[in-house]
Structure 1
Amino acid sequence: MSTTTGMTRLLDERGVRIPSPELDPVLADLTPADLLGLYRDMVLVRRLDAEATALQRQGELALWPPLLGQEAAQIGTGRALRADDFVFSSYREHAVAHTRGVAPVDLVRVWRGVTLSGWDPFAVNMATPQVIIGAQALHATGYAMGIRADGSDAAAVAYVGDGAMSEGDVSEAMVFAASFQAPVLFVCQNNQWAISEPVTLQTAVPLADRAAGFGIPAQRVDGNDVLAVLAATRAALARIRDGEGPQFLEAVTYRMGPHTTADDPTRYRDPAELEVWRERDPIDRLARHLRDGGVLGDAEESDAQADAAAAAAELRAGCLALGDPAPLSVFDHVYAGPHRTLDRQRAEYADYLAGFDA
C-alpha cells in the first residue's frame, strides 16, 4: 500500500494504479463499467455544482456551498454504502445525495428558500443537510445506537469537515460512539480550509489521529483518489458490520472554490496553493487511469458529458419552476403528529392572514 504523508493511495497523481495487498481484494469485484460509472458520477456532480453556482450568481438561489474538488471523497464514500445505511451530512455533500438517489432539483429547494427541507429523508436514507456545524455527528451516533439496539448490521454515516472537528458536538459524538460501540462511520472531508481558517491553525496532528484518543480506529486516505476512498470506506464499513464499533476516515482533499457563494477565497488563499491542487484534480486523475486502461474513450467521454448536461438542464428547469409555498405550510412537518400548541398557532396565523383580505 502506497502512502504520501500518511495517506493511503491507489492512484498516483498521474492516474497510475498503485498495488495494495490490503485494499486490492476490497475492489476485486469492480468491472470496467463500474470504474466508468465512478467517472460519470464525478463528471455529473461537478456539472450540477457549476449549474447551481451559476443559478446563485443569477439571483435564483440565495446561497450555494460548492463541492468543486471534493467529488472523489463524496462519490467514493457514497458508492460504498448500502441502501439501508443512513447518512447524516453537512451542507456540501451534494454528490453523496446524488448517490442516494436525490433528484437534482431537490438539491436546491432549500437554497432557493421555498422549503424547510429538500427531500424526504426516509425515502433515500439520508437526512437533509445540517448547517449547524458538527451537529450531524450527534444525530448519526444516536441513530447508530438505535441500529445496534435493533440488531441490524446497517451503519450510520456522519460527514463532517475539518472545521467541524473543532466543535464540541463532534467530540461528544465520538465519546458516545466509542463508549456504546455504535455502528457509525465518521467521514471527515479535510478540505484544508474552514471558511478562511487553514487546517494548520486547527490541529497540530492529522485529524485522523484525534480519533485514537476516543478509542476509534482511523485511516487517512487521499481524498482525491476515488478508488482509495471507495476501498477504505468499504473496509471500514465491513469492520462496523462485523461488530467492531465505530470507525473514522479522514479524506484529505481540497476545496477549490469558495466556502459558499458568499465567500471570496482570494482574500485569504494563496493562488499558488490552488494551482498545486489543480494538478491533483480527482476527475482528471481517474480519467487518465481509465484512458490508459482503454475504458474511457472519446465516445464514453461524450456520453458522460451529455448526461451531465442533461442533469444540469433538469436542475435549472426544476429550480426555476419552484413556486413560493403557501404561508400556512410553515407549520407542516414540525411534529410527527398533531400538536395542540402548533394547531393554535396555525389558527392564529390564519386569522392574521385573513385580515389582509378584509
Structure 2
Amino acid sequence: MSVFRTTIPEHADDEPLIQLVAPDGTRTPHEELDAAVAHLTGEDLRRYYRDMVMIRAADLEATSLQRQGQLGLWASALGQEAAQIGAGHAARTQDYLVPTYREHGIAWARGIEPWRLLDVWRGIAHGSYDPYELRTHPYMLVLGAQVPQAVGYAMGLQRDGLVGTGDLESDTAVLTLFGDGSSSEGEVSEGFTFAASFQAPTVFFTQNNQWAISVPTTVQSRVPLAQRSRGWGIPSVRIDGNDVLAVYGAVRLALDAAREGEGPSYIEAVTYRMAAHTTSDDPTRYRARAEEEEWAAKDPIDRLRRYLETQDEIDEEFIGHCEEEGHDLAMALHHEIHAMADPDPIEIFSHVYADPHPLVEAERAEFERYRSQFEDAGDQADAGSAADSAAADSTAAEEGRR
C-alpha cells in the first residue's frame, strides 16, 4: 500500500493529488491504482455512470421536495457523486459503512433506495432500513459523532476474529465517512487515537468538498487534510474525488489492507459541493460564481462519460436511457413522499430502549393524558359544529317554506 504515505512533505504544496481520469477524459497511468481497478469492465463503469446519474436525479428532486414543504431539510451531495459511488462499490459485501448525512451515493451503492432516506428528513422516522442487513449505519447528523462509534465497531471485529484470517468472505473492515468540516471535530481526533493504538481495521474517508458551510478548507487547515492523520502514524493519500476510478482504486486498496490486519488508513477525496450546504444555506453569500464555474468543468459525471467515449464503451442511446431512468426515479420519489403517512406520535416512545423502561413508560402515559385533552376537546368541537350545522339547515328549510 505504498501509495499511502506516512511522512509529511517539506512543503504543503508537495502533497500529490492522485488522479486516473482527467476532466477531459484522458487516462493517466498509475501502477498501483491501475492494479486495483484492472478487474473493472466497461459494463462496470457504465453501471457507475448510471448510478451517478440516478443519484443526482434523486438528489435534485429531494431539493425540490424540500422547497415544496415536503421535507424539513435536505443536504445535497450534488457534485460528490464519484467520491460516493466509487467508495461504495469498492467496499465488499461484508464491510460495514458508517456515513454522515450526505452520503446518498453510498446508500445507493449499498442498495438503499432514495425514498428510504427521505422519511428521516421528513421527520416521520429514525430510518427505514436495517443497518445490519445492508451493512450501512444510519445517517448521523452530529458532526464527527460517528467516528468513535465506527472505530469501536472495527475493534469489535478484531475481537470477533473477523480480521486478518485470510478468508475473503468473512474478513471485514469499516469505511468511516466524514466531511472536511467534521475533520476539525474532536471526535475525529479521538477516533484516530483509538484506531492507531489498536490498529483497528477502518478506513477514514473524507470528502473535502471545499466548504464547511461557509468556512473554506484553507481556513480549517494550513496543510492538505491528508496530512492530519500522519501525526497518529496512520498512512494517508490524497486523491481526486471527482474521478470515480481513482476513488475506487484507493478505497479498494485501503479496505483490503485493513481486512488483512494492516490497520487503519486515511483518504482525502478532493471534490466540490455544487449545491448549498443544506437547503437552509445560501452559498451565494460566501463563494464566488467563478469558483463554481471552475468546478463545474470538473463534473464527475461528465468526466466518466468522456472517458468511456474514448474507450467506445458508451453511446448516446445509453446516455439518453440513463437520463430517462433518472427522470422516472425522480417522479417515483415525488409520488412516494406524498404517499407517506404521518406516524402516530406515541411511537416515539417505542424505540428509546430495546427493553421496557419505567421512566419512558411514565413519559408515555403522561403524553397520552396530555393528548387526550385535545381529543376530547376535538370531539366536543365536532359535536358542536354538527349541531350548529343542523340548526342552520333547519332555519334555511323554514325560510324556504315561507
TM-score band w.r.t. shorter chain? over 0.9
Q: Secondary structure at the match of 1:234?
A: helix
Q: Which residue number corresponds to residue 89 of structure 1? A: 99
- Stretch deviating more after TM superposition (214-223 or 117-126): 117-126
Q: Which residue number corresponds to residue 58 of structure 1? A: 68
Shift of 1:21: 1.2
Structure 1 position 170 matched with structure 2 position 188: yes
| Cα distance in 1 for residues equivalent to 2:148 and 2:324 | 40
Q: Secondary structure at the match of 1:9?
A: coil
Structure 1 position 348 matched with structure 2 position 366: yes
**1:36-78, CA deviations, whole angstroms, 9 ceiling, x for partnerless residues?**
0110011111111100011111111111111111000000100
**1:247-295, CA deviations, whole angstroms, 9 ceiling, x for partnerless residues?**
1110000111100011110100011111111111101000001112111
Structure 1 position 303 matched with structure 2 position 321: yes
| Cα distance in 2 for residues equivalent to 1:151 and 1:310 | 44
Q: Secondary structure at the match of 1:96?
A: helix
> Aligned to 2:280, which of 254, 262, 268?
262
Shift of 1:348: 2.4
Q: Secondary structure at the match of 1:219?
A: strand
| Matched letter for residue 206 of structure 1 | P
| Matched letter for residue 307 of structure 2 | H
| Cα distance in 2 for residues equivalent to 1:304 and 1:61 | 26
The answer on whether the counterparts of 1:157 and 1:186 sit within 8 Å (CA) in structure 2 is: yes
Shift of 1:344: 2.3
Structure 1 position 27 matched with structure 2 position 27: no
TM-score normalised by length of structure 1: 0.97
Structure 1 position 248 matched with structure 2 position 266: yes
> Aligned to 2:346, which of 309, 321, 328?
328
Structure 1 position 119 matched with structure 2 position 137: no
Shift of 1:355: 2.9
| Cα distance in 1 for residues equivalent to 2:202 and 2:213 | 27
The answer on whether the counterparts of 1:11 and 1:17 sit within 8 Å (CA) in structure 2 is: yes
Q: Which residue number corresponds to residue 53 of structure 2? A: 43
| Cα distance in 2 for residues equivalent to 1:276 and 1:103 | 32
**1:83-109, CA deviations, whole angstroms, 9 ceiling, x for partnerless residues?**
221111111101101111112211111
Identity rate, percent? 49
| Cα distance in 1 for residues equivalent to 2:366 and 2:213 | 41
- Aligned residue runs from structure 1 range 223-238, under 5 A: 223-238=241-256
| Matched letter for residue 22 of structure 2 | D
CA RMSD of aligned residues (A): 1.5
Structure 1 position 276 matched with structure 2 position 286: no
Structure 1 position 214 matched with structure 2 position 232: yes
| Cα distance in 2 for residues equivalent to 1:116 and 1:81 | 25
> Aligned to 2:144, which of 100, 109, 134?
134
Shift of 1:118: 4.0
| Cα distance in 1 for residues equivalent to 2:66 and 2:184 | 29
| Cα distance in 1 for residues equivalent to 2:99 and 2:93 | 16
Structure 2: state its 5+ residue gaps. Answer: 4-12, 163-170, 377-402
CA shift in 2, pair 1:226/1:279, >3 Å: same
| Cα distance in 1 for residues equivalent to 2:68 and 2:14 | 41
**1:200-219, CA deviations, whole angstroms, 9 ceiling, x for partnerless residues?**
00111110101100111111
Shift of 1:117: 2.6
| Cα distance in 1 for residues equivalent to 2:174 and 2:112 | 18
| Cα distance in 2 for residues equivalent to 1:141 and 1:174 | 8
Q: Secondary structure at the match of 1:227?
A: helix
The answer on whether the counterparts of 1:108 and 1:118 sit within 8 Å (CA) in structure 2 is: no
Bigger radius of gyration among the two: 2
Shift of 1:119: 2.7
> Aligned to 1:195, which of 202, 210, 213?
213
CA shift in 2, pair 1:80/1:9, >3 Å: same
| Matched letter for residue 245 of structure 2 | L
| Matched letter for residue 327 of structure 1 | P
Q: Which residue number corresponds to residue 17 of structure 1? A: 27
| Cα distance in 1 for residues equivalent to 2:180 and 2:341 | 36
| Cα distance in 2 for residues equivalent to 1:239 and 1:123 | 24
Aligned length: 357
Shift of 1:352: 2.3
Q: Secondary structure at the match of 2:32?
A: coil
Q: Which residue number corresponds to residue 75 of structure 1? A: 85
Shift of 1:5: 5.9
Structure 1: state its 5+ residue gaps. Answer: none
| Matched letter for residue 10 of structure 1 | L
| Cα distance in 2 for residues equivalent to 1:5 and 1:302 | 39
Q: Which residue number corresponds to residue 379 of structure 2? A: none
- Stretch deviating more after TM superposition (124-133 or 37-46): 124-133
**1:164-220, CA deviations, whole angstroms, 9 ceiling, x for partnerless residues?**
111100000110011011111110000000000000001111101011001111111
Q: Which residue number corresponds to residue 103 of structure 1? A: 113
| Cα distance in 2 for residues equivalent to 1:5 and 1:287 | 28
Q: Which residue number corresponds to residue 157 of structure 1? A: 175
Shift of 1:129: 1.1
TM-score normalised by length of structure 2: 0.86
